[in-house]
Amino acid sequence: MSKPFVYVTRLLPEDQLAKLKETANVEMWEKEEEPCPRKVLLEKAREADGLLTMLSDKIDQELLEQAENLKVIANLAVGYDNIDVKYAASKKITVCNTPDVLTDTTADLAFALLMASARRIAKAADYIKEGKWKGWGPLQMAGMDIHGKTLGIVGMGKIGTAVAKRGTGFDMKILYHNRSRNKAAEEAHGAKHASFDEVLEQSDFVVCLTPLTEETKEMFTYEAFKKMKRKAIFVNASRGAVVKEDDLKRAIEDGLIAGAGLDVFASEPIQPDHPLLGLRQVTALPHIGSSSEETRLKMMELCSRNIAAVLKGKQPETPVT
Ligand code: GLV
Ligand code: GLV
C-alpha cells in the first residue's frame, strides 16, 4: 500500500519532519516566509491525507469540502481560528494545535512587549542609533514603572497564567478576566478574578491573551478603551481581530490610554502605512509570540507527531477539543 500524502504549507527544516516521513510522503511549499498561494493549497488539499498548516492559512468549508482524503490537520500554533473546526469535525477530520510547548515562550514575549512599551525600549534604541543622543537628560526617554503596578489579564489560560507568574516577580497586583475562574492561577499567583470592566478600570497594563472566538471578536472597542486609565498601556499577544483597530487608534489619539504594544493585527502582515504604525505610542511586532528557535522546532515536531499518530490510527497528543 502506498504511503499517505502530507502537505506542509511552509518550508520547514527536514529534521523536524523526519519522523513524519517514516509514515508519509511529505511535500512542502517551497518558501519559508511567503505563504502557499490559495490555489496551491486547494490543489494539495484535494489529494492530502494530512495537512501541516500555518495560522495564516484559511482552512474553510470550501477547502474541506474538496479534501476527500483528509484525515488530519495540524496547525503550527496554539490558536486555530483560521480553521473551521466544526465543519472539519463533521467530516471526521481531526484538528490538532500546539499548546503547552509554546506557553512560556509566548508569555516571555508578552511580558517583553509590556516592558518595551512601558520603558520605551524600541524608541530609545532607535534614538541612540539615529545619533540623537546628545547627553544624559533628567527626563530623557522617561517611561512608566512596571513593578508594583496592576496587571490585568484578559484570557487566563495557560499563557495568561504564565504572564501572571512573571508579573508577580515584579510585585504586580494581578487581576484577570476569563469565562471561567482559574483557581490554580488564583492560588499560585494571587490573581483576582474580575469582570471585564473591572480589569479595564483598575489595571495599569491590560494584556490580552484570549483566543479569537465569536464572543471575543472586537471586544476591545473605543468604549472599552475609554474605561481604562489614561496612563494605562494595552498589550495584545493573542489575535488582532479581538480589537477594533480603528477604535484603538482613536483611543490613543484622544488620549484615552497611554499606548499599546501589539504583536498581532486584524489582517497580517501589515504594511508601514498601517494607521497604528503612525502613532509614536505604539510598539509593534510581527506576530512573534512563540518565536524562539527552541519552541518553534518543538511545535513543528509536535505537529509531525500528531499527523503521524492520526495516520496510523492512533490518538494524537494535542487534538483541539
Ligand atoms: C500564535 O499566535 C499561536 O496561536 O500559536
Ligand atoms: C543613572 O544612570 C543613575 O546613576 O542614576
Nearest ligand to the CA of 212 is 1
Q: Which domain holds residue 21?
A: 5-99+293-311
Residue 318: inside a domain: no
Considering the domain architecture, whether residues 61 and 198 belong to the same structural domain is answered as no
CA 311 – CA 321 distance, rounded (Å): 19
Provide φ and ψ at 28, rounded to 5°: -125, 150
Residue 34: inside a domain: yes
Pocket test for ligand 1, best of 290, 295, 303, 318 (most atoms within 8 A of CB): 290
Residue 157: CB within 6 Å of ligand 1?
A: no
> How far is the centre of ligand 1, averaged over its atoms, from the C-alpha of 212 (Å)?
11
Nearest ligand to the CA of 140 is 2
Domain count along the chain:
2
| Three-class DSSP category at 57 | coil
Given this model, what pLDDT does residue 58 score?
98
Considering the domain architecture, whether residues 109 and 255 belong to the same structural domain is answered as yes
E strand or H helix that includes residue 260:
strand 259-262
What is the domain-level CATH number for residue 263? 3.40.50.720
Considering the domain architecture, whether residues 184 and 78 belong to the same structural domain is answered as no
pTM: 0.96
Where does the pLDDT of residue 5 fall: very low under 50, low under 70, confident under 90, or very high at 90 and above? very high
The answer to whether 239 is a known catalytic residue is yes
Considering the domain architecture, whether residues 209 and 137 belong to the same structural domain is answered as yes
| Three-class DSSP category at 153 | strand
User: Quick check: 222 pLDDT over 80?
Assistant: yes
* Largest pairwise CA distance in the chain: 74
Considering the domain architecture, whether residues 280 and 235 belong to the same structural domain is answered as yes
Residue 117: inside a domain: yes
Considering the domain architecture, whether residues 188 and 41 belong to the same structural domain is answered as no
Residue 109: CB within 6 Å of ligand 1?
A: no
Given this model, what pLDDT does residue 321 score?
78
Residue 295: CB within 6 Å of ligand 1?
A: no
Residue 290: CB within 6 Å of ligand 1?
A: yes
Given this model, what pLDDT does residue 112 score?
98
The answer to whether 305 is a known catalytic residue is no
For 150-193, the pLDDT digits (tens) are 999 999 999 999 999 999 999 999 999 999 999 999 999 999 99
Query: What cell numbers appear for 39 in the block?
Result: 490555489
